[in-house]
Structure formats: C-alpha cells, structure tokens
C-alpha cells in the first residue's frame, strides 16, 4: 500500500520537473517575454551582460533595434555570421543621417570586447530559441 506522504512527495517532484522545464509563471519582464537561460556558462555570462546593457533596446525593439522576438529581422543578420555581427555592438552602427543608431560598445564603456561578444552570442541564441518556441507553439495549436 502506498502511504499518503509518498503521494505528496511524488506530487512535489512532478512540480519540480514542471518548473525546471520552464513552464512556471516566472517571467523576466512586464512584457511577458521570458528570456531563455542556457546551461553553457559563457551564454549565462552573456545573458547577464545582455540584461544589463542590451535589453534596453533589444527586448522590445526600441529606436530601430531588432527586437529579440522579431525573427524575420534577425534572419538575414544571422546569415552574416557572428564575426560580422560582433562589429555592430563593438564599433556602433550609424544611420543614414550619420548619427549612431547603436552607439559604440552599446554605450557601456565598462564592457570588455569579450563581454560584448558574449552578449551578442547570447542574443542570437535567445532569438533562435524564442523562434523555435513560437514554431512549436504554432504546431501545438
Ligand atoms: C541604444 C539602443 C541599443 C543598445 C543599448 C544596443 N543595441 Fe544593438 N542595435 C541597435 C540598433 C538600432 C540596431 C540596428 C542597426 C541597424 O542595422 O541599422 C542594433 C543592431 C544590433 C546587432 C545586429 C548588427 C548587424 O550587423 O546586423 C547586434 C548583433 C547587436 N545590435 C548587438 C547588441 C549588443 C550585444 C548589445 C549590448 C552589449 C546591444 N546591441 C545594445 C540598438 C541598440
């Protein structure tokens, strides 16, 4: 016979698995976009840099920045490869009016080149992950 407290233990185990798989109510932003987490420590470091500096423009797409959820905008950029993609946040990107759309070092001089590259790596991984989740969601419906 299975004792009631064992049921409770199994129940909380199942809950633990659910929250691990990212189905919990936790959301990183009022906009309801849950920014992916990756086990790779370099991407985890990139995530924290991204949260601190890049998120301001790239979460929702402020000031002409491609939003993390805008895969159509990212697809041709990703096709250029990471080496090309690093140049934007490192050197800045100017608009046709000659003014910076994205300032050099994303406006944060405290960041090292490596930190900026990791933030870019994280953003591209997150863009692809969010896109994959959308595709899976579309199939489930
Ligand atoms: C002040 C707003 C702003 C911030 C902060 C910002 N970006 Fe951007 N970012 C932009 C804009 C605007 C563009 C699009 C420029 C264009 O292609 O005309 C862009 C484009 C990019 C691109 C694509 C470049 C390409 O070649 O297509 C990458 C990669 C990128 N940003 C990375 C970052 C990273 C990494 C950070 C944080 C370290 C960051 N951005 C912070 C505004 C910002």
Residue 113's pLDDT is what? 98
pLDDT in tens, 120-134: 999 999 999 999 999
Pocket of ligand 1 (CB under 6 A): 53-54, 56-58, 63-66, 77, 84-85, 88-89, 93, 101-102, 106-107, 116, 119-120, 123
The per-residue pLDDT for 61 is 95
pLDDT at position 3, please? 53
Is the Cβ–Cβ distance between 87 and 80 less than 8 Å? Answer: no
Q: 């199942």: which residue's tokens?
A: 14
Q: How far is the CA of 26 from the centre of ligand 1 (A)?
A: 26
pLDDT score of 7: 45
Tens-place pLDDT, residues 19-62: 344 444 445 656 789 999 999 999 999 999 999 999 999 999 99
* Cα–Cα nearest to 26, from 12, 36, 14, 40: 36
Higher model confidence: residue 100 or residue 141?
100
CA distance linking residue 23 with residue 27, whole number of Å: 10
Q: Say how many C-beta atoms besides its own lie within 10 A of residue 80's C-beta.
A: 11
For residue 74, the model assigns a pLDDT of 98
Integer angstrom CA distances of residue 45 from 38, 104, 122: 10, 20, 8
Whether 16 has a pLDDT exceeding 70, the answer reads no
Q: Nearest residue CA, atom 29 of ligand 1?
A: 85
- Model confidence pLDDT, tens digit, residues 63-98: 899 999 999 999 999 999 999 999 999 999 999 999
- Report the largest interatomic distance among the alpha carbons of the chain, rounded to a whole angstrom: 76
Nearest CA to ligand 1 atom 35: 120
- Distance between alpha carbon 114 and the CA centroid of its chain, in Å? 17
The tokens for 117 are: 């590259």
Whether 9 has a pLDDT exceeding 60, the answer reads no
Contact by Cβ (8 Å): 131, 86: no
Structure tokens given for 49: 């840099």
Q: Of all protein residues, whose CA lies closest to atom 41 belonging to ligand 1?
A: 54
- The pLDDT value recorded for residue 21 is 40
Going from the Cα of 27 to the center of ligand 1, the distance in angstroms, rounded, reads 23
- Residue to mutate (ligand 1; options 58, 71, 95, 126; most atoms within 8 A of CB): 58
Environment class of 128 (CB within 10 Å of its CB; exposed 0-12, middle 13-18, buried 19+): middle
């Amino acid at each position: 016979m299975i004792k009631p407290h064992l049921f409770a233990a199994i129940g909380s185990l199942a809950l633990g698995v659910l929250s691990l798989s990212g189905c919990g109510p936790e959301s990183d932003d009022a906009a309801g976009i849950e920014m992916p987490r990756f086990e790779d420590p370099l991407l985890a470091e990139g995530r924290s840099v991204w949260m601190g500096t890049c998120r301001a423009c790239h979460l929702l797409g402020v000031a002409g920045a491609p939003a993390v959820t805008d895969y159509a905008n990212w697809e041709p950029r990703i096709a250029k490869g990471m080496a090309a993609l690093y140049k934007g946040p490192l050197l800045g990107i100017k608009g046709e009016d000659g003014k910076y759309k994205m300032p050099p070092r994303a406006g944060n001089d405290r960041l090292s080149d490596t930190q900026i590259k990791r933030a870019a790596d994280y953003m591209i991984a997150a863009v692809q992950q969010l896109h994959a989740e959308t595709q899976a969601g579309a199939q489930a419906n």
